[in-house]
Amino acid sequence: MRLPLIGLLAVMLGGTATLQQVYEPGNGVSLPMVVKEVKPQYTARARDMRIQGSVLLRAVVLENGHIGENIEVLRSLDTDLDQQAIGALKQWEFKPGMKEGKPVAVRISCELTFTLK
């Protein structure tokens, strides 16, 4: 018997698989609002190389205000700094986006900047 992928995942997880709808902001869907921001840290190598600029990331803010697992780098700055930006974004907390008065998962883009002083 062949199960579709979602059925296979449900069997593997020992329960019922649910797919969460992810919304784009606009058309009655509000943007999530940042309530806790964590700044990314420079790596020693990037600081020594004097790399500056920003990393553009795309992620989903879940209904609970946390960042989902899949974070995509849309514009890279440096491999190490990209990972620092991802690590920082995973720690951010949000007031979730809303649709019809209920919290929903919303896709966001976020730019994290690295500047030397």
CATH at 86: 3.30.2420.10
Q: Say if 8 falls within a structural domain.
A: no
Question: Which residues are within 8 A (CB) of 111 and not within 5 positions of it... i.e. 6 or more apart?
Answer: 54, 55, 56, 57
Number of domains in the chain: 1
Tokens 């919290």 sit at which residue? 103
Question: Which residues are within 8 A (CB) of 46 and not within 5 positions of it... i.e. 6 or more apart?
Answer: 78, 80, 81, 114
- Rounded to two decimals, what is the model's pTM? 0.81
Q: Say if 10 falls within a structural domain.
A: no
Q: Say if 2 falls within a structural domain.
A: no
Q: Domain range spanning residue 66?
A: 20-114
Q: Say if 92 falls within a structural domain.
A: yes
Q: Say if 14 falls within a structural domain.
A: no
- Distance CA(77)–CA(54), nearest Å, equals 6
Q: Say if 11 falls within a structural domain.
A: no
User: Rounded to the nearest 5°, which phi and psi values hold at 28?
Assistant: 85, 0
How would you class 36 by CB atoms within 10 Å of its CB: exposed for 0-12, middle for 13-18, buried for 19 or more? exposed
- pLDDT values of the chain reduced to their tens digit, one per residue, 117 residues: 333 333 333 333 444 445 679 999 999 999 999 999 999 999 999 999 999 999 999 999 999 999 999 999 999 999 999 999 999 999 999 999 999 999 999 999 999 999 998
